[in-house]
Structure 1
Amino acid sequence: MKNMNNFICSISFFFLFFFSLINFIFMMYFIMNDKVLFLEWEIITFNSCMIVMSILLDWMSLLFMMFVSMISSVVIYYSKSYMSSELNLSRFIILVLLFVLSMILLIISPNIISIFLGWDGLGLVSYCLVIYYQNIKSYNSGMLTALTNRIGDVLILMVISWMLNYGGWNYIFYLEIMKNDFSMMLIGIMIIMAAMTKSAQIPFSAWLPAAMAAPTPVSALVHSSTLVTAGVYLLIRFNLLLVDMFFMKILLLLSGLTMFMAGISANYEFDLKKIIALSTLSQLGLMMSILSMGFPDLAFFHLLTHAMFKALLFMCAGVIIHMMNDMQDIRYMGGISVFIPMTSLCLNISNLALCGIPFLAGFYSKDMILEMVSMSNLNLLIFFLYYVSTGLTMFYTIRLLMYLMINDYNLMCIYNLYDEDYKMLKSMMILMLMKVISGSFLKWMIFNYPYMIYLPFNLKMMVIYVSLLGFIMGYMVSNMNVYSMNKFLMTYSLSNFLCMMWFLPSLSTYSMNYLFLNFGQNLLKIIDMGWNEYYSGQGMYNILKKYSIFYYFFQMNNYKIYLFSFVFWILLMMFMLLI
């Protein structure tokens, strides 16, 4: 069994890594020659009815596929060691491969129906992966994840039905026509809302930290390049339709608030995986907001650079959780840089890339995004949300590093921490190399024109100022004791509000229960099992039953009454005829 598991792991790793290299070669060819390949594969024809699978291959889909397959290959190799105690490791690997397949189907589809297959596949497989450990917390988290994603699925289904007005589902051909057709703006609104559910923007944010119940390799895959980025990728593809919509201004506000809320909540969180999950939520808010301002290329650039360091962050977190006897509370950790130096190195570089420290992957995209925001004609609120959220990123990153690296180890007296799991280390080293070089490499490749950003000196340096302020605040708060920290953070009720993600998890569960589930239950009882049943199925059954009993009564039991009634009717008819 163990040999079989190892064989499946190795085959999956080599296949996906080889696939990513092929995608890289094709992507370079396509981007240099400015090529787009549109394939139509006729699956079946029956009586002039054709079922056709459309595939769109351009530099964007090939580049994204390369990143997805490379990260998933590394994650599978990492799982070989991380999930080594799992008896059904092959089942886990097959689920991960299904997940990657769904994402690839979504990436290469110019057709809204095949996009829906990939979209729904992501939701379904993510549910199976979130409930993988099979406990109450996992089941609750899985249900919240599945039901929130289901809203997006329903909206995509409505887009499919609405696109029948054009006589085809290849949306890529109809974007210009839709843009000029006011009634078809409905498609744009539904696409935006579907993307908001998948990319966990307010008010659908609660499922993303809850999905941390999944195994850590799954979290690394989900939060870097698959599930949460599907919404952003869909909006990038539909950007031509959405660029002048009023709804994009609402999306800008909501994504800015998501960024701000996630940054604050991460500073109150003590669960290692949830801090990284809230960091993903903050970066998704950044991608969605810059996308809603009309810069899809910048959003795509940040999506790719973010994928690298976020996958590595989760993998480092997985190693640390293993070392700490499956403990995820950062208050028990400390001084890990002494015991596991290689993992600490990867973690530190990932965190610095997340903060946007110059010349790492995150710097190129974040710096360009913030400078474009400074150039744009925005109001003070959005400007404030962008820069404060950037400062908060530095704030929670320094807090995390203080807890993990500098504070004392607090878990147990006797411990044996080691950094010799070479499978995990090799997979992390691949991503660390990519993380260091991918920022500049992608910038030179994606932007074949230079962005000329001319700003005053202080506005140009605003990113540095905000980062330094976040660094100092993070250091100060990490060194405070509990009492002075409570004074600094004011009241308990405010801390509770900020810690609970502005009560979004409660709103997503209890309010939905009272509003929709109870309403649905009453509807079922009164209509389906009440009036509908009484006048249709059960009603017909009762009427037929009464008639059959009546006939049976005459036929079997009372011959005299039956005979008497028969004679009576004959006499009555003769009397009527004689008259």
Structure 2
Amino acid sequence: MSLSFTMFVMGVLFILFNKVIFIEFNILSLNSMSLVYSLLLDWMSFIFMSFVFIISGSVIMYSESYMESEKSLNRFIYLVLLFIISMMFLILSPNLVSILLGWDGLGLVSYALVIYYQNVKSFNAGMLTVLVNRVGDVALLMSISLMVSLGSWSFYFLNDLYKGEFFMILLSLFIVLAAFTKSAQMPFSSWLPAAMAAPTPVSALVHSSTLVTAGVYLLIRFSNLISLQIYYFILFISLFTMFMSGLGANVEFDLKKIIALSTLSQLGLMISVLILGDSSLAFFHLLTHALFKALLFMCAGVIIHSFGNFQDIRLMGGILNNFPFVFSSFMVCNFSLCGIPFMSGFYSKDLLAELYSMSYMNIFVYIIFFLSIGLTASYSFRLFYYVCMGDLKCLSLNSFMESFDKMVLGMKCLIFIVILSGSVLNWLIFPYPFYICLPFLMKMMTLFLVILGILIGVSIGQLSFSLIHYFLNLNMFYYFNFEMWNLVYFMSFVNIYFLNSGKKFYLKLDQGWFEYYGSQGIYNKLGNLSSWVQLFSLNHLIMYISLFFTFIFLIICIGI
């Protein structure tokens, strides 16, 4: 916690004095080649690191109680620490090679954490996660190969002179592809809900400030270098991701998957804001979202832990009476997620919506964006109605109480920061207020859609067991959104195709012809040759006498 506070103070000082420090460590010099490790220290990296440290500290404290019955708790803590170290490499590196080190570290450790509970579901989710993330790793490797001709792999040395050239368009496409895979934008969205097979503390860390925000952070760093030709492509993909995840969360019944889909919606919002040209505003929403999303997952973990480790929200209810602190934290996070005035999410989300209203976007973009905001309020209050209101729907013989000391303590470390972070960061990052000039109806559009979404969400909750809701569950629209617009089947089909192809190549080539003509074949040929040569060395006297008499015989024959 003290380290987080120190980093935050350093970030504030760097904002006030407008400082940037670029450090290079010469690790190895050999003739004309030098191996250099670079660090970029600015206000963005310091504040992001402080948020990662405060969230990870709370999550580790939370994990000690949540997973106290786990036999290999130390292994879990070490994996989480490796996860945080990989994120540090990503945050502090201006160099694409060292960024790849943290990027690959995040992908590898996330795979180990997703398959932590070793069962078939976890293995399938882990395989889907790691295969989709490998696409982004390949895109970063292609970016590194493209930047060889520039003499440096640091994006800090690239300037606007290259913008618009074919080389920079290609580099931007690879960077955007890498960011889309890590931040689960369409069509790579299916791995994010599948990664919920990991323990809940991991979900709190992954969905707040580490894995899924890595792609957004990379785009923020490259925001000045992304070519204008692909701006609208990024905008439409991110908007459709927002809309799809909002619809999916309104028909989902798994508690953790609903929160995961809300993360996906907010990631689409952050990336779409980058198109407006304000990376600081996207970073502002990333920070506020990280805090309340980590706390929301912690609340979900306490609820799941108390309700006998099941996650179906239809079997929950009544935490309002049994969990007063968890209920309060849950509602604070829900209010922040919806953008209710004067909560932390309001300061970033309302500002984003107003800037969208002032931008030169067409009516389609405007409608999809504001519908996605309304869907956020809808699934948030649908979740509230199922989990918090009404009576307890099962396990009636058990009594519930907030007796998990370290779990609640980890949440208490975040609750006050969640409430205050929006206004504090708004004053720090934007010392001068935005000038917003909108008609009254457009100004109130966000609040109107939030209220409409709340009413729709509560109505869906009230119709939960009625014939109308049962009828709605049977139609194709429900299943289409439940399967994330069939992206689950699409990515599974693509992965199965490549896995089957890899299996055939492995059997026919790697273990087949390549073995026959490759390593094993060469080994057998050399073994036979050495055995033949060894006959001469073992029987050298016999061979010498035989050759001698053969030579004498040939001389006699020639003489005759």
Settle same-fold status: TM greater than 0.5: yes
1:521 equivalenced with 2:506 (yes/no): no
1:270 equivalenced with 2:292 (yes/no): no
Aligned match for 2:351, one of 355, 359, 368: 368
Aligned in 2, Cα 1:406/1:55: closer, same or farther, shift over 3 Å?
same
1:297 equivalenced with 2:280 (yes/no): yes
Deviation at 1:46, TM superposition (A): 4.3
Aligned equivalent of 1:125:
109
Further displaced range: 108-117 or 563-572: 563-572
1:392 equivalenced with 2:397 (yes/no): no
Aligned in 2, Cα 1:32/1:352: closer, same or farther, shift over 3 Å?
same
The amino acid of 2:500's aligned partner reads N
Question: Do the aligned partners of 2:169 and 2:229 also contact (CA within 8 Å) in 1?
Answer: no
Aligned match for 2:313, one of 318, 330, 333: 330
Question: Do the aligned partners of 1:149 and 1:197 also contact (CA within 8 Å) in 2?
Answer: yes
Structure 2: how far apart are the matches of 1:555 and 1:309? Answer: 79
Further displaced range: 447-456 or 357-366: 447-456
Structure 2: how far apart are the matches of 1:89 and 1:546? Answer: 53
Structure 1: how far apart are the matches of 2:364 and 2:310? Answer: 39
Further displaced range: 259-268 or 428-437: 428-437
Aligned equivalent of 2:62:
78
Deviation at 1:545, TM superposition (A): 8.1
What are the within-5 Å matches in structure 2 for residues 23-34 of structure 1? 23-34=7-18
Structure 1: how far apart are the matches of 2:116 and 2:525? Answer: 51
Structure 2: how far apart are the matches of 1:435 and 1:37? Answer: 29
Aligned in 2, Cα 1:263/1:555: closer, same or farther, shift over 3 Å?
same
3-state SS of the aligned residue for 2:59? helix
Deviation at 1:488, TM superposition (A): 4.6
Aligned in 2, Cα 1:564/1:169: closer, same or farther, shift over 3 Å?
closer
Structure 1: how far apart are the matches of 2:297 and 2:36? Answer: 39
1:174 equivalenced with 2:158 (yes/no): yes
Aligned equivalent of 1:9:
none
Question: Do the aligned partners of 2:207 and 2:294 also contact (CA within 8 Å) in 1?
Answer: yes
Aligned match for 2:334, one of 351, 358, 370: 351
Question: Do the aligned partners of 1:192 and 1:235 also contact (CA within 8 Å) in 2?
Answer: yes
1:257 equivalenced with 2:245 (yes/no): no
Structure 2: how far apart are the matches of 1:500 and 1:568? Answer: 85
Aligned in 2, Cα 1:170/1:476: closer, same or farther, shift over 3 Å?
same
1:497 equivalenced with 2:480 (yes/no): yes
Aligned in 2, Cα 1:124/1:476: closer, same or farther, shift over 3 Å?
same
The amino acid of 1:18's aligned partner reads S
1:139 equivalenced with 2:123 (yes/no): yes
Structure 2, gaps ≥5 residues long: 539-544
Deviations 1:308-340 (A, max 9, x none): 110110001111111111121111111111011
Aligned equivalent of 1:6:
none
Question: Do the aligned partners of 2:56 and 2:84 also contact (CA within 8 Å) in 1?
Answer: yes
Structure 1: how far apart are the matches of 2:535 and 2:54? Answer: 78
Aligned match for 2:433, one of 428, 433, 450: 450
Aligned in 2, Cα 1:93/1:549: closer, same or farther, shift over 3 Å?
closer
Aligned match for 2:6, one of 10, 22, 26: 22
3-state SS of the aligned residue for 1:450? coil
The amino acid of 2:355's aligned partner reads M
Question: Do the aligned partners of 1:208 and 1:277 also contact (CA within 8 Å) in 2?
Answer: yes
Aligned in 2, Cα 1:346/1:540: closer, same or farther, shift over 3 Å?
closer
Normalised TM-score (structure 2)? 0.92
1:223 equivalenced with 2:207 (yes/no): yes
Aligned match for 1:195, one of 154, 163, 179: 179
Identity between Structure 1 and Structure 2 (%): 50
Aligned in 2, Cα 1:383/1:532: closer, same or farther, shift over 3 Å?
same
The amino acid of 2:158's aligned partner reads Y
Q: How many residues align?
A: 558
* Deviant stretches of 4+, over 6 Å: 541-556, 563-575
Question: Do the aligned partners of 1:175 and 1:238 also contact (CA within 8 Å) in 2?
Answer: no
Aligned in 2, Cα 1:294/1:535: closer, same or farther, shift over 3 Å?
same
Structure 1: how far apart are the matches of 2:288 and 2:386? Answer: 26
Structure 2: how far apart are the matches of 1:130 and 1:353? Answer: 28
Aligned equivalent of 1:164:
148
Question: Do the aligned partners of 1:248 and 1:293 also contact (CA within 8 Å) in 2?
Answer: no
Higher relative contact order (CA 8 A, sep 6+): 2
Aligned in 2, Cα 1:168/1:553: closer, same or farther, shift over 3 Å?
closer
3-state SS of the aligned residue for 1:246? helix
Deviation at 1:512, TM superposition (A): 2.1
Aligned in 2, Cα 1:525/1:431: closer, same or farther, shift over 3 Å?
same
Question: Do the aligned partners of 1:217 and 1:315 also contact (CA within 8 Å) in 2?
Answer: yes
Structure 1: how far apart are the matches of 2:68 and 2:523? Answer: 59
Question: Do the aligned partners of 1:178 and 1:185 also contact (CA within 8 Å) in 2?
Answer: no
Structure 1: how far apart are the matches of 2:551 and 2:73? Answer: 81
Question: Do the aligned partners of 2:239 and 2:365 also contact (CA within 8 Å) in 1?
Answer: yes
Deviations 1:379-406 (A, max 9, x none): 2222122111111111111111111111
Structure 2: how far apart are the matches of 1:134 and 1:524? Answer: 26
Further displaced range: 254-263 or 520-529: 520-529
Question: Do the aligned partners of 1:403 and 1:478 also contact (CA within 8 Å) in 2?
Answer: yes
Structure 2: how far apart are the matches of 1:570 and 1:61? Answer: 89
The amino acid of 1:88's aligned partner reads S
Structure 1: how far apart are the matches of 2:72 and 2:51? Answer: 27
The amino acid of 2:315's aligned partner reads Y
Structure 2: how far apart are the matches of 1:417 and 1:570? Answer: 106
Aligned in 2, Cα 1:300/1:551: closer, same or farther, shift over 3 Å?
closer
Normalised TM-score (structure 1)? 0.89
Question: Do the aligned partners of 1:486 and 1:492 also contact (CA within 8 Å) in 2?
Answer: no
Structure 1: how far apart are the matches of 2:95 and 2:532? Answer: 61
Aligned equivalent of 2:99:
115
Structure 2: how far apart are the matches of 1:99 and 1:217? Answer: 13
Question: Do the aligned partners of 2:307 and 2:395 also contact (CA within 8 Å) in 1?
Answer: no
Deviation at 1:114, TM superposition (A): 1.1
Deviation at 1:56, TM superposition (A): 0.8
Structure 2: how far apart are the matches of 1:552 and 1:281? Answer: 68
3-state SS of the aligned residue for 2:57? helix
